[in-house]
Structure formats: structure tokens, C-alpha cells
Chains A and B, each alone.
Chain A
Amino acid sequence: MVPRATYIGLGLALLLAPASAQAGVTGVAFVHGTGKQTNALADYWTAAMVNSVRLGLPVTSNYVVINCDFEKYMWNPAAAGCLAGQLTTFIKSRGITDMLVITHSNGGNVLRWMLSNPTYDSRYPGVIKAIRWVDALAPSSLGTPLANAVISGTVFEQSLGWLVGYKSEAVTMQQTDHMAFYNANWLFGTAGRPALARELWAVVGSDVDSSPFDNDSWCGGYSLNVGLETTQWWLEDCSDGFLNCSSQAGAGYEWFQDIDYTGEQEPLSHAQSRRDCFGLDLFLRGDLKP
């Protein structure tokens, strides 16, 4: 395991990259979570987040925002197949040799499928070889009890539609018992299993703030945070409103838990861990340094 060091200074978060970072043409890919995206830049990440992170690149235009159908099972051609296609095009068109992949939520599972099943698709090896490592923001590595509830008929409020809107394949897959099966049989990187073909570093969100009088509750969307506060009843004391911390840290290595390094030790809800909230973008920016 490569140690990672994180430093805070003068309000800026700076992360030192491991010495093993590959030399070459560095690029970054943003991989969204559950949902069928056609404009993930605007609808999922926001331009403010993406544009802030890519400032850490030597060539700031070497980035790609993935748009695939992650309502499907991770192995589906519309999911991992689409991801492999868009990453392959990015790698070839930009000559990328040192790619950092930033995933959010279920996007971590789709990428982990590729890293665990490199022979499933002849495009996978080329993508894997170009990856330096994966920064997985709140990955649903062990699934979530909310998915179990939705598949069994529980209906959550509209503001959670982007996560558990209906009984899609992706929601079915993220049931805790289904993820236990996939982790044991089709995926690497969880406890007791062999390591992934590339390192995956998880950022763990630990709580939800949703007070209308607290400005921090508005980052990432106030209504989304209110919805995530309700769902915490299904979850452990440490959760981001959608995932238990144990699920987020369930594969690869834990890079850090939000309050260890975010501004004013603010927790990152599941809606906030994909946005430029509380300095998260600065950590990711620092991680791009070759």
C-alpha cells in the first residue's frame, strides 16, 4: 500500500502525491454515480467543481466528464462498456498515460468492475494500464440498506429520486446482500479479497447537516440534504445519508473521512461529496499533481 499524506495550511488543502506517480501525460476523468447522464458536468458535478479540480492538471484541458447509463448493472454495455469506450477515446485522443479517475457513489462500483474483471472487455486492459489510481468519493462498495428498502417497496421522498428513484438495476445491485455477493464473487478490493489492479482511495462522508439557518446545509442543495437526513434512520450513526461509512470505506483504502480535513470540519453528505463543498475540490486538485 502506498502511504498518502495530507496537509492543511493557510486554508488551503494540499495533498502530496505518492512517489510512485507515473510520469507522462496526466489527465483526469469524472465518473458519476447512479443515473443515466447526458450532461453530468451540469447536472451531476457542476462546472464549479470540475473546473476547480482540473486546475491541478499541467494541461487543464486534459479532462473528461463521463456520461453513461448507470441505472444498469455495472457490467452492462451501457454502464462499464460505455465507461470503457469514453475512457479509451479520452486516453487515445489526448495521449493520456497517467490518468486519475474521480468517481462518486455507484460510479466507484462500475470502475471497480473494470479493475476486477480486466478480461471481460478487450478495452479494459488499456484503460487500466493508464490509470494512476482512483479517488472514490463516497463509493457504495458494500451497498446501502436504502436500496434494500426501495426494492422491497419503501418509497422515499422526491428529493431522493436521483439516488433511489425507482427499482432500477443499479438500485437492485446496491442492496447490501447483493453487494456482498458481488464483492465475494465478481469484485476485488474488499476485506479478505485480493487487491484491485489499481489502488482505490475512498473519501468517506460521515454525517448530514440540514438546518435552514446553517449556510453549510445549502452547499450541494438544501432540499437534497433534508431528504438525506430522513434516510439516516436506516443507517448507522456514521453515514452520509445514503451510505454507511463502513460501506464507503469497504473497498480499497480509506483516504480520509470528511471531518478530518474539510473546512471547519464540516461533514460531506452524499449530495455534497460530488460538489465543491468545504474544500473537497482543493484536495482533489492537489491529488492531480504528477
Chain B
Amino acid sequence: MRCFTFLAVLLCMSSGTAAAGDIVASAAVASDVTPSAPVGGPVQFTWPIDQAADDLDERPAVHVAQSTGYAQTVTAAELRRGVALPIAQAGAFVKLSADGGVAVHAVHDAGRVVALRRVGAASDGAFILDPAAGVGAFVVKGEASGPVRVDVLERGSEVVLLASADSDVVLRGDDVVVRARLLSGGQAVTGRVVARLLAPDGRVVTRTLTRGDDGGYHGRLPALGAIGPTGRPWTVEFVADAKVSGRAVRRTTTTAVAVSVPTARLLGTGLARLSGEGLQAEFRLEVASAGRYAATALLYGRNREGQLQPIAVGQTADQLAPGGRTLALRFDAATISASGLRGPFELRDVRVVDQGRMFVVHRQARGLAATR
């Protein structure tokens, strides 16, 4: 970090040091995605927050999808012949969906007809399996005129699939790293877990995940395909099959990952004291594609014990042309004074986004500008 006095204010500049979990591009890259239309010219906005530092996550918490059920899509012919339903929880809820409706003829278990309790209208194709039929391999037969979605929900089941991606944002060209755990009564279950990354353009990358020493599964999925509709993350589907106590179980779930093009790169941040005791943050950017960019940061100050506590959120945005550009953000003296906190101040949780293309191009928890 470099600090110097300029026009009677103390200015510190930092390019920061990225840490694991940060999103930092090595270069700005032009994008052919047409930006949508955020409105207006330069805008700055700040607001005080009274949260303690402990209330805020340093980095976004990983979203862990949890499932005690599964879903699959079958053809009308497959449904006519019979679709296998592995059931791990007695009294499971089953719903069959198809355009034009679906008629369920029967559900069998080892050749015996299983009693069903319909839920809602008969045309809904929703029913609960007779709890007395227990668990095992069931078969459902019915009639439909097109593809049929089969949902099996086993509320309260001890067989749970947990799935996540290490980061909810990856830069194009990077891999999506995924993890899954299949548990029964809290214990890891050995089976087969497949992950599929679905790009908005329909491209699919499928990987069978590798089992680790801790019983969990992991794998890498390259983010291929076109970026897709503005702001819509990609989907990762997980399908887990295993045997628990000799019986087949299945679980499915999804999580979401955004694939960004780093249309701008954060070169460094600055934080300067202004006369009147306000602070001005500056974000130096290398812009590759013209667009409207926003920088957001949390301003921290120190309490009497010298601990850093958040003071305010600040956000600044403007239309920027390609090249070296700067976004400025002023935190007013009244907000800082009202917080009761004092310097050295720091900027944390700095984020830069391409607003028109909805790309997250930079996300960094620490190591950014500070004043003395």
C-alpha cells in the first residue's frame, strides 16, 4: 500500500492482495453481450449501518442445496410400461406432471398393488403412497400424451443429499468446482453422484464426481457455452444413486452459478480524507467494454478498543468507456461522526459489477484501501 499527501489530504492507494474466495480477474476482457439499460448518469449513494462486524460475512456464504427427494422426466411410453420409483421413506408424496394431464393407473411393489391417497384433484396426478407399503422399489404406470415429470418427495427421510459449488461466481474459462455429500442418518453413504452444468444455450457438461477420503464427492465442470440471458445464473444438477440397507435410494437437487466476463478489472482503490473529515474512495478500473459500472464497498472504522467495525455502505456508478477509468465515492462527515468510529479507516467487501450485463467482475473481502 502506498500513502502520500496530496492537496493537504492523506491518500492511500492499494491494489490489494486477493485471497482464496475472492474474485479477481487477471485482465479485462471485452464482451459481445449487449448491455441492458440502467438509467441515468453518475450516481452515488451511501447509507449508515449499525451492524457489528460479527454480523457480516467476510465473503458470501456457500449455498448448500439440500434434498430429501428426487425428480426425473420420462416419456409417455416409459410411463405406460412402468417407471421405477425407489422409495426410502414410507408414505412418500408422488406427483406426475404433463401438459394435458396425466392418469395414474397403479403403483406396484413386488407385484402387489399399492393403495394411493390422492392429493388435490384427480387430474393433478398427485398422491401419497400407502405408508403400510413401507420402503423399497415401486413401479408407477399411467397414461400421458407427452413427457412426464415425476416428483418424489420424502419429507422426514434420513437420506439427504447436500450439494454446493465452491463459488457462486466464476469467470468465463474457469471451472465450476462442485461438492456433494450423500448422508443416511448423518453418516456418509457410498454411491454414484453425477453433476451436470447446464448453460443457458443448452450446452451440458456432465461429470461423475470423485469420492474423497471424507466420504464426500467433488468434481470440476468447465463453464462452456454462451453466457445467456442477462443476469440469469447457470444451473448445476446433481443426481445421487446409492443403496442404503440393500435398498436403492435416489436424490436430486440443483444449485446456481453465475458465469461472468470480466469486462473491467479493478486496478486499485484509494481512500482519502477530505476537508471536513469526510472520506473519498476511488476505484481505478481498466475497462474493456463500454458500459455502466458500479463499485460497492463497506467503510470500516475503529472503536475505542481499536477493533474495526462497519460504518456505512457506499455505492457509485457511471457509464464508462474502454480504457483507464476511475469511479469516486464520497462518505460524508456526518455519517462517520455519528458512528463514533475513527481512523484508520478501511474499505472491505469491495465489489465491482457491470450493471448493464449483470456481470460480477470483482469481489474482494480485504486488502484494500485504508487511511492512516
Contact = CB atoms under 8 A, between A and B. Distances in A.
Interface of A: 1, 73, 75-77, 81, 117-125, 128, 148-149, 152-157, 172, 175-178, 180-181, 184-186, 188, 192-195, 197, 226-227, 230, 233-234
Given A119-B315, A149-B151, A230 B51 contact: no
B111 interface: no
B95 interface: yes
A194 B119 contact: no
Contact of A180 (B45, B168, B231): B168
Contacts of B40: 121-123
A76 B57 CA distance: 28
A177 B63 contact: yes
Given A175-B256, A185-B258, A123 B149 contact: no
Contact of A123 (B39, B124, B235): B39
Contacts of A156: 97, 124
Contacts of B168: 180-181, 184-185
A194 B63 contact: no
Contacts of B360: 185
6 contacts: A73-B230, A122-B41, A125-B45, A156-B124, A180-B256, A197-B47
Q: What is the interface residue range for chain B against chain A?
A: 35 or more
B43 interface: yes
Given A149-B151, A177-B233, A195-B313, 18 more contacts: A77-B36, A118-B45, A119-B315, A120-B294, A120-B317, A122-B43, A125-B43, A154-B95, A154-B149, A155-B97, A157-B120, A177-B63, A180-B255, A184-B168, A192-B60, A192-B61, A195-B51, A233-B126
A148 B151 CA distance: 12
Given A1-B50, A75-B231, A177-B256, A118 B95 contact: no
Contacts of A157: 120-121, 123-124
A128 B317 CA distance: 16
Contacts of A180: 63, 168, 255-256
5 nearest CB pairs, A to B: A122-B40, A192-B57, A119-B317, A184-B60, A180-B63
Given A181-B233, A184-B168, A155 B99 contact: yes
Contacts of A194: 49, 51, 56, 298, 310, 313, 349
A152 B73 CA distance: 9
A153 B95 CA distance: 11
B217 interface: no
Given A157-B121, A181-B168, A75 B358 contact: yes
A193 B153 contact: no
B367 interface: no
B309 interface: no
A244 B2 CA distance: 50
Contacts of B283: none
Contacts of B313: 188, 194-195, 197
A194 B351 CA distance: 13
Given A180-B256, A192-B56, A119 B51 contact: no
A121 B36 CA distance: 12
A185 B56 CA distance: 14
Given A192-B61, A230-B119, A233-B93, A154 B39 contact: no
Nearest to B102: A155
Contact of B63 (A154, A181, A226): A181
Nearest to B236: A177
Interface in B323-361: 349, 351, 353, 355, 358, 360
A128 to B, nearest CB: 7
Contacts of A121: 38-40
Nearest to A77: B37
B119 A117 contact: no
A77 B149 CA distance: 34
